[in-house]
Amino acid sequence: MTTTTSNLGAAKNRMDIQSEFVANLRDSIEKGVVTLVDAGMTEESTRLKVLQTQQQLGVQACRSLIPPRNRFCPCSGKIAGNHFEWSRSGRKAGPT
pLDDT digits (tens, 9 = 90+) for 26-82: 999 999 999 999 999 999 999 999 999 999 998 888 877 766 665 666 665 565 554
**Coil, strand or helix at 94:** strand
Query: Is 90 exceeded by the pLDDT of residue 89?
Result: no
Domain boundaries, given as residue ranges, for the chain:
1-65, 68-96
Q: Is the dihedral of CA 22, 23, 27, 28 positive or negative?
A: negative
The pLDDT, as a whole number, for residue 41 is 92
Instruction: Supply the pLDDT for residue 42.
Output: 92
Write the single-letter amino acid at 31: K
How distant is the alpha carbon of residue 47 from its chain centre? 8
pLDDT of 14 > 70? The answer is yes
| pTM score of the predicted model | 0.47
Q: What is the pLDDT of residue 20?
A: 96
